[in-house]
Structure formats: structure tokens, C-alpha cells
Structure 1
Amino acid sequence: MSTAATPGTAQRDIAARLERLPMSRWQIGVRLIVGIVTFFEAFDQLLIAYTLPVISREWHMSTSAGTATLTIGSVGMLIGAFASGWVADRVGRVRVISVCVALTALCSLGMALCTSLLPFLVLRFVQGLAIGGEVPTAAAYISEISRAGRRGRFVLLYEVVFPAGLTVGALVAAWVIPHWGWPTLYVCAAVPGLVAVVLQRRVPESPRWLAARGRHEQALATMADIERRVSAATGEPLPAPAPATTAVAEPVRRGGLRELFTGRYRRRTLVLWTLWFVGYLANYGITSWLPTIYRGVFHVSIGQALWYSTATSAAGLIGCVIAALVVDRLGRRVVLAAGLGGTTAMLVVLGVIGADSPLKLIVLSSLAALFNFAVNISLYLYTPELYPTRSRALGCSMGGVLNRLGLITGPILVGLVYAGGAHLDAVFLLIGALTLVGTIVAAVFAEETSGRTLEEVSP
């Protein structure tokens, strides 16, 4: 066997051995540990939307300062997502996730102690770096330990923890802020720092990544350890690996940004970037301003504004669960196109009939969130499938960059058009027009990946 052929052989061996693993407590346990981390990253991400009405009054903030507070974390997330892909493809998935979650927790504690805006913004930016790095890296990792069969459900039931974190964050915020103040909320958000230690010790590195990096002995040893754990969890011997049906036609190459725009990956990258940007622009553009809209337009109390906004987050969580249950049966393209189409329809209706009452805004924004969250969570499944192991984390992180660009652009766009409520209908129509573009892109250009191994989809 030639030296050049060895990496490809190792990758085929690892892939075949992962594909034969039955579902067991081991996979569920790993998904749970990484899921707890992602849960609290989501919890941290949206807390600013619920604390903004309080700290803006406490620190006498202007509208521009409020916009900066909403977006500074997203700027950090953008940079963190951009950097994490290169780092995770070179030093490993688990190490990057552990460092990011520890940094997130430390920043939360620091934010709880802030008494003025500037240090708060600095810590929020650093925390954004960590959140932006952890989320796409974790998505790549979970995909790499998954089998082709029902991979959609396995990955998305993990990814549901992110919108669950958003929803729980909203619920906790609605209760904690009126009773114990906003700093208590950030103390609660520091909990995942403890999980970083468990993660580093209990979760093995991705054997697919080890093989792709040429660390064959370590990849095989890690794979053997995983097999022992799965066999012990099931109490039965493992079936023999199926013969590899996907051949690697060339020696393993080092991935890079250029590869994302080469051959089959060029179209995939353009489609994914469009969907990431549009999906999260719609998501954060609406949800980040909802508490302020309820307060400024309908003059409800802080407590009511927070509870009303929670209904939208809860509806989004339901949409994520529905996506997880149907994505393998309907396919990725149908879920993405239908979700964006539904989001468009709800926003257009909201823009045409007008948000002239809190009830109307709650119902229609919640329905829009149900469809929109289903799309956004599915992108965490779809993106890792469309890139090879050598550049999977980079592909995911670049999707995260467009995600963060959407998160940044959404609140700014809404802030410019909103004008204190005078042009609220125009906000919904504008975002609906953008999600319509995403609907067309998903329906016409998205490639179906359901039921295929990662190596088959992305050699």
C-alpha cells in the first residue's frame, strides 16, 4: 500500500465502523454533554434582548447605544465563527468546544458585575467570540459521530437544545429580572463553565477528524474505545462493518477556504450562505426587538413584554421539534423551502393587516418563528453534510459567519425602518421579501443529502 493511499484507507475504515454502530447510551450521553454546552450558549446569546429594556433605563442609553448593545455580541460571534473553523480543523473539535464554553462562562460572571456600559460591551464582545466558535464546531462534531440512517433526527434532536436554550432563557428572564434583577440572570448563565471539564474528559475527539489529519493510530485507538463503550452499553457484540461503497480517489488533501469555492462545493457554499444570512436576519431582526416593540408601541409593562416575547420563542422551539421529526422523511430541501415559505407568508400577512394589537403581533410573529426556527435548526444539520471532513468545521464556521452577519444586519435594519413604531408594517414586509428570496434559493438550488453517508455526499 502506498503512503498516499493510507489516509484514504483509514478514513474509509473509520466511516464503515461508525456506520455499523447501533444507537446506544454512549451516543445519547455524548449528545447530552455537548447539548448542555450548546443549551447554555443559546441561553447566553439572547439574554441581551431581555435585559436591554432594563439596562437601557438604568444606564440612560440612547437608541444608538441600544443598537450597539444588541449587535456587539453578534460582531464577536462573527469573528469567532470565522476563526473557529480553521482552528477546529487543525487542533480538534473537542478542544475548541471546551475552551469556548469556559470563556463564555467567565464573561457571563464579569457582565453580572458591570455597573456601566463600556465594560459590559467589551465582555459581551469577548463572549460573542466564544459563542460564535462553539456552535458551528459542535455541529460539525455531532455530524461526524452520526450514521447516515436517520442522521437528521439524531443531529436535530441535539440541535433542539439551542432553541430550547433560547426559550428557557426567555422564561428565566421573564421571572428573574422583575424579582432579582438582571445581574442574577448572567450569574445563572455561567453554569456551563463546569461542563467544560466534563467535556474534555468524557467526550472523545472525532475519529473522522483524526483520520483526515493523518493521525491514523490515534483515530483507530479512539474508534476502538468508542466501539468498546457502545458494545458495553448495548450488552451485545457489534456487527461487522459493511464493505465500504465509497472510494477515496485521491490522497487526503488539507482543506481550506479555496476548497469551499471549488468544484461541487462552490454552488453548495453560495446556497448555504444565502440561507444562513436570510434565515438569521429574519430570526434576530424580529425577536431581538420584540420586547422593545411591546414596550414602545403598546406601552405594556416590562414583565408583560418579556412574557409576550417568550411566546414567540416557545413557538420557535415547537418548529424545531417538528423539523427534527420530519427532516429524514421529507428531506432537507423540502424542510428548508417550506420553512422559509411559511416564514414569508406570516410576515407578509403581518405587514399587510398591520400589527395594531399585542395579540395580533404575538400570534403572527409566533407562527413566523415556528417556520423560521425550523429552517435555522436544519441548517446545522445540512451544512456539515455538504463539506468533507478536512474542511467541515471551516464550512460550518463560514456558515456561522453569514449567520452572524444576519444577526447583525437584522436588528440594524429593523432599527432603521422601525422609527419608534411609525413604520412597523414596513419592517415585516421588508423581511418577508428577503425570506422569499431564500425560499426560491432553497427550492431550486438546494441539494438533497438525506440517507447518504458523509463520505458519499462530500468525498
Structure 2
Amino acid sequence: MTTAASSDATTQQEVVARLERLPLSRWHVTVRLVIGVVTFFEAFDQLLIAFSMPEISREWGLSAAGVTTTLTVGSIGMLLGALGAGWMADRIGRVRVIALCVAVTALCSLGMALSTALVPFLILRFVQGLAIGGEVPTAASYISELSRAKGRGRFVLLYELVFPIGLAVGALASAWIIPHLGWRALFLIAAVPGVAAIVVQSKVPESPRWLAERGRTEQALRNVEHIEERVRRSTGQELPAPAPASSIPVSTQRTGMLRELFTGRYRRRTLVVWTIWFVGYLSNYGITSWLPTLYKNVYHLPIGTALWFSTSASVTGVVGCLIAALTIDKLGRRIVLGVGLGLTTVPLLVLAALGAATAPQLAVLSAIVALFNFAVNISLYLYTPELYPTRSRAFGCSMGGVLNRLGLITGPILVGALYAGGTDLSAVFFTIGGITLIGTVVTLLFAEETKGRTLEELSP
């Protein structure tokens, strides 16, 4: 090992040792809130299109194909955004990418609210998708790198809880605002938090783990000192002594990022986590994106009632996420993910057997689906960063985001093709349930447990 490489490795060890000894404090909570506000509104924006769809379809006279295109064009942007932003975040930093994505999301929301035709609306939705797809996995990497091994599951998932809360608030807001003020008002509201980009860039320190791994040792140590001072002020106590730095496993290896995901220990991790991402989001978005339309077209509910029925899935999803956050450090990642997918499968197959005969039946069982499905999906934002080293963590998360977006795209298209304007929904729920069953088996048999270990132990 060269002298420079040895020095970089020593700095990485020191940075990790000092971060791992920090107790949870008001400073950590503040950073989670700042990044959380950003993620909250990204989730808010992501759901608006599903709840606005009945009114947008009516205003612009969309066919079934037009509805499917409008629902999925943002997801295509999210797929490409996740891929590009992960690459950028591992090169220019987590905080810069998050701030850029927030600003673009807000500007596109404003433009969509002012759109008078479908084509410019779709273009803006695609660009907004690029930003949303980039922000979410990058933020997950950043929050994971601030946390220590002990209690990392709860620390990260209580932050990630803002995403399903954003979905729930978006659903509740949509159910009231659309009938009273129209769909454009929602997109205007979603444009307001663009100021958060300024706050993120000025108030949130760059990840010391990332800085040290990139060889920016002086800035890494300055940021650690800054964080230590904020934690010391928050707790009013001196910090505990760090563990011996020499005991921290680090690596100065530099590998092509995509190739590394399929090398050695990472190959199995990548294949398993990609499967869970795809299955979890195909089942989630395939159903939730169509719920307002199904309630209106199949059960002939008024638009207001259809939207309120649709909110049940988002609300119970938040409960499922909270349960995951409070139990994942005790039960472990593999159990929460595998059992969660299994319990997602059961109500889907029950819906298939019953034929979703009534709107209340669909509302109750889809809410149970969301309870467990959301718990799985939020846990992936904890689990995926744990599987990859700092040098490629954001890229690994973003590739998980790519599979997430493939699921988001495939789900609505699959449901639309199976539904095809008919009223027999059994085939829809049987197909989605079969897919989640496959995901359950893969997870329980092949997922690696990561609880209680530092990021460096898991991926030196």
C-alpha cells in the first residue's frame, strides 16, 4: 500500500471510529428533519399524479393508453434519475445532489400546475421524475452514513417514515383539494418547498465517510469536528472515547461501480435486493396508482368518495412503516422483509378469490396489503445502503432505485393490461399475489442479515 493510500485508510478509520461513538442527539434529529422535509415533499409529488388522474383524464379526454402513459412517464424519469444521481453522488457528494434534485422537483411542479396541454405536462413530469428518482436513494445513503451500527435500523427508518407520511398527506390533501380547488392547486402547493434546497446546501454537512473515502481528508476531519461539537452541545456532555481506529476495517480499493455490484460477496446481495425492490414496488404502485380510477369506473363512486376510499391504503401504509421502524433492529432485516412480503401476498390472494366484489371489500383488503407492503418497501432504504461500501454506496442504492422504478412502471402497465376496462379484478390480484409470493421465497432463502454491524464490517 502506498503512503498516500495508507494515510487515506487511517483517516477513514478515524472518521468511522469517531462517528460510531456519537450518541443520538438533537443534532441528529435536526438533520433528519431537514432531509426529511425534502423527502416528504418528494413523496407528496410522487403520489399527486395518481390522485389527480381522474380529473386530468376528464379535462384532456385521455384514453386508457393516455392514462397509463401519464401514470408511468414520471416513473421512467425516476428510473433514469436514480441511475444518474447515484453516479453523481459518489463523485460530487450527497448534499449537492439532494439540493439540486429538490430545486428541480419544485420548478417542475410549478410548471405542471400552469400547463394547459398534455405534452408539456408530460415533459415536465418526466424531468420531475429525474429529480425525485435521484433524491430519494441519495438521501438514504446520506442518512445511513451518519448513523452508528447500534440502533441504525430505528434511526434510519424513523427518518424514512417521512416518505409514507408524505404519501398519506398527499392522499388526504388530494381527497379534499381536488373536489374543491382542482388538481392544479395541488401542484402549486408542491412547488413551495423549493426553498428547502437552499437550507440543505447551507445547513447540512457533507458525509464525512464519503469525504474520507474520496481522499478529502482535511474536510472529512473538519466535518467530523463540526458534528462532534453540535452533538456535544445537544447532549451537554463530553463524548465517549472512540474505539481503537485500527480495529475498523477499511479498503482503498477502487473498482468500476457497476462491475463491483456483481463481484464477490456483492453479487448475491445485488440479485436479492434487486428482486425485493422490483417486487415490492410493482405490487405497491400497480395497485395504489389505479385505486382512484377503479373506485370511479368499476364501482361508480363519486370522485370525492373514490379519493377518500383510496386514502385508506396510504394511511395504513404509514402504520406498517412505523411497525417496521420499531421492530427491525430486534427481528432483523431478513425477517421483516421476508415476512412482510408473505403477509402482503395473503390479502392479494384473498382479493383474487373473492373477486373484489365491492368497494368496501377492496378498501379493507388493499389497506391490509399496504400495511405490510409499505413496511417492506421502507425497510429497503435501510437495507440497501448496508450492503455496499462507501465508494459505491449511493450507486448501489440508485441501482436499487432503478429496479424500484422498473416496478413502478411495470405495475400500472400490468394492472392496466389485466384490467383492460373490464370489471373482473380477480386476474389482477392473483397475478400480483403470485409475484409477491416469489419475492417472499427469494428473500427468506437468500437475503443476508445485516443488523448490529457497522457499514465497514459489512462492506470493507
Q: TM-score range by the shorter chain?
A: over 0.9
Counterpart of 1:189 in 2: which secondary structure?
A: helix
Mapped pair 1:173 → 2:174: yes
CA deviation after TM superposition for structure 1 residue 247, in Å: 4.4
* Distance in 1 between residues matched to 2:267 and 2:160, nearest whole Å: 26
Mapped pair 1:279 → 2:280: yes
CA deviation after TM superposition for structure 1 residue 12, in Å: 1.1
Q: Which residue of 1 aligns with 2:357?
A: 356
* Distance in 2 between residues matched to 1:229 and 1:217, nearest whole Å: 19
* Cα gap change, 1:241 to 1:291, in 2 (>3 Å): same
CA deviation after TM superposition for structure 1 residue 423, in Å: 3.5
* Distance in 2 between residues matched to 1:7 and 1:118, nearest whole Å: 50
* Distance in 1 between residues matched to 2:144 and 2:320, nearest whole Å: 21
* Distance in 2 between residues matched to 1:249 and 1:182, nearest whole Å: 51
* Distance in 2 between residues matched to 1:438 and 1:18, nearest whole Å: 35
Q: Which residue of 1 aligns with 2:159?
A: 158
CA deviation after TM superposition for structure 1 residue 122, in Å: 0.4
Q: Which residue of 1 aligns with 2:313?
A: 312
* Distance in 2 between residues matched to 1:228 and 1:52, nearest whole Å: 49
Q: Which residue of 1 aligns with 2:401?
A: 400
Q: Which residue of 2 aligns with 1:340?
A: 341
Q: Which residue of 2 aligns with 1:198?
A: 199
| Aligned residues of 1:278 and 1:438 also touching (Cα < 8 A) | yes
Amino acid at match of 2:359: P
Q: Which residue of 2 aligns with 1:377?
A: 378
CA deviation after TM superposition for structure 1 residue 332, in Å: 0.2
Deviations 1:296-351 (A, max 9, x none): 11000000010000011101111000000000010000000010000011100110
Mapped pair 1:262 → 2:263: yes
Tell me the C-alpha RMSD between the 2 structures. Answer: 1.0
CA deviation after TM superposition for structure 1 residue 133, in Å: 0.3
Q: Which residue of 2 aligns with 1:38?
A: 39
Amino acid at match of 1:222: N
Q: Which residue of 2 aligns with 1:225?
A: 226
CA deviation after TM superposition for structure 1 residue 427, in Å: 0.4
Counterpart of 2:421 in 1: which secondary structure?
A: helix
* Distance in 2 between residues matched to 1:400 and 1:86, nearest whole Å: 12
Counterpart of 1:387 in 2: which secondary structure?
A: coil
Mapped pair 1:409 → 2:417: no
* Distance in 1 between residues matched to 2:98 and 2:325, nearest whole Å: 23
CA deviation after TM superposition for structure 1 residue 421, in Å: 3.3
Q: Which residue of 2 aligns with 1:424?
A: 425
Counterpart of 1:270 in 2: which secondary structure?
A: helix
Q: How does 1:221-260 map to 2 (within 5 A)?
A: 221-244=222-245, 246-248=247-249, 250-254=251-255, 256-260=257-261
Q: Which residue of 2 aligns with 1:327?
A: 328
Amino acid at match of 2:150: G
CA deviation after TM superposition for structure 1 residue 10, in Å: 1.2
Amino acid at match of 2:66: A
Mapped pair 1:438 → 2:439: yes
Counterpart of 1:188 in 2: which secondary structure?
A: helix
Q: TM-score, normalised by structure 2?
A: 0.98
Amino acid at match of 1:98: A
* Distance in 2 between residues matched to 1:402 and 1:319, nearest whole Å: 22
Q: TM-score, normalised by structure 1?
A: 0.99
* Distance in 2 between residues matched to 1:50 and 1:391, nearest whole Å: 36
* Distance in 1 between residues matched to 2:410 and 2:113, nearest whole Å: 27
CA deviation after TM superposition for structure 1 residue 250, in Å: 4.7
Deviations 1:407-445 (A, max 9, x none): 000000000001223341110000000000110111010
* Cα gap change, 1:178 to 1:74, in 2 (>3 Å): same
Q: Which residue of 1 aligns with 2:296?
A: 295
| Aligned residues of 2:291 and 2:310 also touching (Cα < 8 A) | yes
Mapped pair 1:102 → 2:103: yes
Q: How does 1:204-223 map to 2 (within 5 A)?
A: 204-223=205-224
Counterpart of 1:128 in 2: which secondary structure?
A: helix
Q: Point out where structure 1 has 5 or more consecutive residues left out of the alignment.
A: none
Mapped pair 1:128 → 2:129: yes
| Aligned residues of 2:17 and 2:248 also touching (Cα < 8 A) | no
Q: Which residue of 2 aligns with 1:20?
A: 21
* Cα gap change, 1:249 to 1:61, in 2 (>3 Å): closer
Amino acid at match of 1:393: A
* Distance in 2 between residues matched to 1:390 and 1:145, nearest whole Å: 15
Deviations 1:263-299 (A, max 9, x none): 0000000001000000000000000000000011100
Counterpart of 1:378 in 2: which secondary structure?
A: helix
| Aligned residues of 2:355 and 2:424 also touching (Cα < 8 A) | no
Q: Which residue of 2 aligns with 1:137?
A: 138
* Distance in 1 between residues matched to 2:182 and 2:347, nearest whole Å: 35
Amino acid at match of 2:298: V
* Cα gap change, 1:249 to 1:171, in 2 (>3 Å): closer
Counterpart of 2:115 in 1: which secondary structure?
A: coil
| Aligned residues of 2:278 and 2:404 also touching (Cα < 8 A) | yes
CA deviation after TM superposition for structure 1 residue 191, in Å: 2.1
Q: Which residue of 2 aligns with 1:84?
A: 85
| Aligned residues of 1:107 and 1:127 also touching (Cα < 8 A) | yes
* Distance in 2 between residues matched to 1:359 and 1:141, nearest whole Å: 41
| Aligned residues of 1:47 and 1:173 also touching (Cα < 8 A) | yes
Q: Point out where structure 2 has 5 or more consecutive residues left out of the alignment.
A: none
CA deviation after TM superposition for structure 1 residue 3, in Å: 2.0
* Cα gap change, 1:246 to 1:272, in 2 (>3 Å): farther
* Distance in 1 between residues matched to 2:433 and 2:370, nearest whole Å: 12
* Distance in 2 between residues matched to 1:373 and 1:276, nearest whole Å: 12
Higher mean Cα deviation, 172-181 or 234-243? 234-243
| Aligned residues of 1:255 and 1:390 also touching (Cα < 8 A) | no
CA deviation after TM superposition for structure 1 residue 249, in Å: 6.4
Deviations 1:180-231 (A, max 9, x none): 1111000110122011111111100000000010101110111111111111
Counterpart of 1:261 in 2: which secondary structure?
A: coil
* Distance in 2 between residues matched to 1:274 and 1:217, nearest whole Å: 40
